[in-house]
Each structure stands twice: as structure tokens, then as C-alpha cells.
Amino acid sequence: MRDFHFPGRSSVLAENGMCATSHPLAAQAALEILKNGGNAMDAAIAGAVLLGICEPQMTGIGGDCFVLFSPSGSNEIKSMNGSGYAPSLANADELRDEALSSIPLNSAHAVTIPCAIDAFCKLSADWGKLGLDTILQPAIHYAEHGVPIAERVAYDLAELTENLNPAGREFYLPWGRAPRVGELFTHPGQVKVLNEIAKKGRDGFYSGEVAEDMVNSLQKLGGTHTMDDFSNMEAFYTNPIAGKFSKFELVEHPPNGQGATAILLCNILKHFPISSMEPFGFERTHIETEATKLAYDARNRLVSDPTVFDATTRMTSDKLAKELADKINMKQVINEVSSVTEEVHKDTIYITVVDKDQMAVSLIYSIFHGFGSGIASEKFGVLFQNRGAGFNLIPGHVNEYGAHKRPLHTIIPAIVKEKEIVNMPFGVMGGQYQAAGHARVLSNIYDYEMDIQAALDAPRSFFENGSLRIERGYDKNTVQKLSSLGHQIDQNIGPIGGAQAIKIHDSGVLEGASDPRKDGCALGY
């Protein structure tokens, strides 16, 4: 139990249904869907699409998603890959001929075909109860009548106003500047698009005037996208991957996401007596930092579109984990680690819902960087992701840019099992941090026996771009010890990540937790 003398929040307890996500209006909308006869899939999709209005810099219908879920009455976990591929005319040689060494973040070449809408349509038809017309109504309502800008949203948007093209500024910065807390954001273009999807399903997005608007807008900026690329875009079901540990089983989405990296990290960390260390002390932080460097290096070399190379077996093997664990030295910092990787970003939403029948949904949905590519379509203002920046231009690399290939993705939903029973859907936003965030949250819970809210509240650190980023919740002596060992410390940073979780107790009671680094909450009834 937390110390009530200090600021903090308690976990939320309920029996009939629970949602945890990064914006309270989306959590409330999801809960209303449950109360009106929908199930967890209906509620998760409704909340996710609304989050594209509440947090437009983070996600939207021009993006991708990954979903893990367990049907009611079952402990089987299913997965959906809602990530899009590069256009059929994508050509790495042509970009190299332009003297490019990477794909420009704000170019049409960085725009892969958005796939989240197709995934939502499939999941709604196969697993939902209410239908798209009903579950899209909350997003349509708020897109038309407005969402007050929340504090964390305003904080993020203040740094992103230069990222948008003219159409993007028209649709997403109607004030002509970064918004202020409490100002209303509406999106009339998205009202029209969502109504088309509500009436026609995927055809309302991937064909007709909405698709024509997207293709024409991209082609004007040098994109090779075609109407066929959009009409042929399909999400697909996949087989989850898992790592088994002494107290839990971690279930992740398979590549092209980085879920295997989280399993590899947990496998590396099991070679160290983490639970005997101070939870936010020097030893644990150093080991996690070095393990993260090594696991992410493996990810960068191996993870790609699985039709090109399936990295799952290697990334989840005990052999690789032991090889990497043996490289960690408590008296030395690893400096030479390869750096073929995605650009750093932190812009994603995560939502988890569990209903009264214990259907559990773990859904993550993103446009990659802040405001994605910055390119919005001219007529309807569909903001495009820049997931193509997750490719590289290294000839022969498994993650090389190419036609109909899906890039390495950082976004990963997760579900924990205990004794073969679905126990906790959870996710950690924060771009590259996500795999490390999964390992950190699980270690907080299982090594240090924190309740799930405390596990999300706890301070974080993360190594990226040559620096060890440390939140100010760390003790100054710990920071000094890490610096003395050779870690390049950076505390001039924003908050690291944002997590949500719902624990399913044996009694049937649901316990929800929501990260204080975001505007959101857990709500139940």
C-alpha cells in the first residue's frame, strides 16, 4: 500500500469493466461503450479512435496499430498486425541515387500505407458486438464539437508546430500557433472521414474520395503511392510470441514489432539477482542500461518484416540472452554498440480494456513521430504516419526500404499470464523505450512486489543516442555513481514513456493503473 503522506494515486478497483488509457475522455467513452452492451474490443477501438482527436500529435487514422487480445472465457491470446507496408513502387536505389543515407522524416517516402483502420474494421467484425457505426460515434462527436486541450497534450504540441505542412497547420493548428490548455480542438475533415467509415467500413477509407485525397496529396509531394496500394492494404492475424519466467509469462506481438526485444531483455536480466538490489540504485540501473544497449543492438540487426527474415527464434533464445548477459561488467560501461536504428520518438497511444466477461484487449496505435510525417491530406486532413523512417537504406539489410515491406516498429502491446491464466494486459508508450519499459514495469512488479500503480509511478531511466536519460526521481548519489562509472548522464529531459495496465484478480475484481506522466486515468464500473 502506498504512503498516503505523499502525493500519488491509488489503483482503481471495479468488477464489471475497466479501461486504462492516456486521456480521460477516451477512458470514459470506452466505459460508456461497455455500459451500453459493447465488449472490450468495441470499447478499445472506440477509445483508440477518439484518442486520435484527443491527442492528434500521437496517433490517428493515418497510422498503424498492433493488438493482442484474449476472448471471453478463454486464456488463449490472439494477435493482429495492423502495420502498413511501403508503396509498391518504393525503391531504395532511387533514394540512394539522391545521396540519401536515411529516409527523410517529413517526406512522402516516409509514409507507409496506413493500416490501423483495416485492423479496426476486421476486429470489430470478427470480435465486437456493436458494429463500427456505433463505436465510432464518440470520436465523431468530439471531432465535431471539440476536445479541450489537456495539459500534457499542450506540453507536447508546443514543440511540434514546425512539423506540419500547410494542410496540417490548417487542420491541426487552427489557432495559428500551438494551443493553450483548455482551448477546443475540432476536426471537421475527420468527421466526414469517420462517417464514411461508419457507413461503408474499410471502403470508406481505402477507396473513393477519401483514398483519392490521400493518394493525390502524397503524389504531389513526390510519393509513389497509388490507389491500388490503398485498396490492397490489409491487416492480418498473427501468432503471439512469449517468454516464460519463474513468476510470469510475457506474451508479445511478433515481428515486425519489437516485442521480441522485451522478451530478450527479461531473459538477460534473469541472469542477475535484481531483487536483491536497491530498486532505483546504481546496480540495477547499470545492469538494465547495459542490457538495453545489447538487446537493442540485436533488435537493430535482426528485426524486420518477418517475410524477409523471422528473428523470433534468435531473439527469444536463452542462448542469445546468456551470451549478452556475459558481456555486462559491473565496473565498466559498454561504449561500442552498433547504431542502425529508428529515429528517436515518443508519440504513441496505448489503451487496454477488460470487460465483465474478462475479454482482455491490449491495443497500441501510433503515427510514429510527433504529428507523424507532418503531411496531412489536402481535403480531409488525414495526418500520415512516417513509419517508413523505420527502414534503413543499407543495401542488403533485412530492414532495407523496399516495395510492400513492413518496417521495424517500436510499438508493442503486451499481456502477462500467471499459471497459464491471462493476468494483466499492459503497455508502455515512449517510442524506443517501450521494450525497456516492459522489462522495467515487470521487474517492479515481480522483483520488488510493487502494486501495478506504484510500478507505473516509479522513476525511469533509458539509454539512447549515447546518453543515459534519468528522470529526476532518482537519488542524486545514484546519479553520481553512474556518472563516475562512465555513463553520460542527461536529466534535461521530458518524462520517459507512459504506461497503462489492468490486473485481473482471481476473484474477478479488476485493478487498473494509469501513468501520471500522461493526462489519462483508469476508470471502471
d(CA 160, CA 155): 10
Q: pLDDT-based confidence at 129, cuts 50/70/90?
A: very high
Q: For residues 343 and 408, is the Cβ–Cβ distance under 8 A?
A: no
The grid coordinates of residue 145 equal 464539437
Q: How many whole angstroms separate alpha carbon 74 and alpha carbon 420?
A: 11
Cell of 70: 484474449
For the chain, percent of residues with pLDDT exceeding 90:
89
461-493: pLDDT as tens digits? 999 989 999 999 999 999 999 999 999 999 999
Smallest Cα–Cα separation from 328: which of 259, 263, 270, 278?
Answer: 270
Lowest mean pLDDT among 200-204, 227-231, 289-293, 405-409: 405-409
pLDDT for 309 beyond 90: no
Cα–Cα distance for residue pair 362/353, rounded to 1 Å: 7
pLDDT of residue 160: 85
Residue 413 is predicted with a pLDDT of 97
Q: What is the pLDDT of residue 347?
A: 67
Per-residue model confidence as pLDDT tens digits over 150-178: 999 999 888 888 889 999 999 999 999 99
* Residue bearing the bigger pLDDT, 342 or 244: 244
DSSP letters of 294-348?
HHHHHHHHH-S-TTT---HHHHT-HHHHHHHHTT--TT----------PPP--EE
**Model confidence band, residue 346 (pLDDT cutoffs 50, 70, 90):** low
Q: Which of 57-66, 87-96, 219-228, 344-353 has the lowest mean pLDDT?
A: 344-353
Higher pLDDT, 500 or 309: 500
Report how far Cα 459 is from the mean position of its chain's Cα atoms: 20
Residue closest to 427 by CA, chosen among 35, 154, 65: 65
* 61 pLDDT above the threshold of 50: yes
| DSSP annotation string for 105-128 | TTSGGG-PPP-HHHHHHHHHHHH-
- Confidence tier at 306 by pLDDT (50, 70, 90): confident
- Considering only residues 387 and 3, tell me which one the structure prediction assigns the higher pLDDT: 387
- Would you place residue 183 in the very low, low, confident or very high pLDDT band (cuts 50, 70, 90)? very high
As a whole number of angstroms, the distance between CA 58 and CA 155 comes to 12
- Burial call 197-206: b when 16+ CB within 10 Å, e when fewer: bbebbbebbb
pLDDT at 307 over 90: no
Q: Which residues pair with 409 in a beta bridge?
A: 257
Q: Can you give the residue ranges of every domain in the chain? A: 25-237+347-390, 239-344+422-524
The pLDDT assigned to 338 comes to 62
pTM to 2 decimal places: 0.94
What is the pairing mode between strands 347-355 and 489-490?
A: unpaired
What is the 8-class DSSP label of residue 272?
S
What pLDDT digit, counting tens, does each position of 388-440 carry? Answer: 998 999 999 888 999 999 998 889 999 999 999 999 999 999 888 999 999 99
Residue with cell 515487470: 442
Assigned CATH for 239-344+422-524 = 1.10.246.130
Give yes or no for residue 344 having a pLDDT over 50. no
Q: In 403-457, which ranges are E strands?
A: 413-418, 421-429
Please give the pLDDT value at position 340: 41
Q: Please tell me the distance from the alpha carbon of residue 235 to that of residue 227, in angstroms, as a whole number.
A: 17
In the chain, what percentage of residues exceed pLDDT 70? 98
**Residue 354: strand pairing partners:** 18, 360
pLDDT in the model for residue 316:
95
Query: Which residues, in sequence order, are CB contacts of 276 under 8 Å at separation 6+?
Result: none
278 CA to centre of own chain: 29
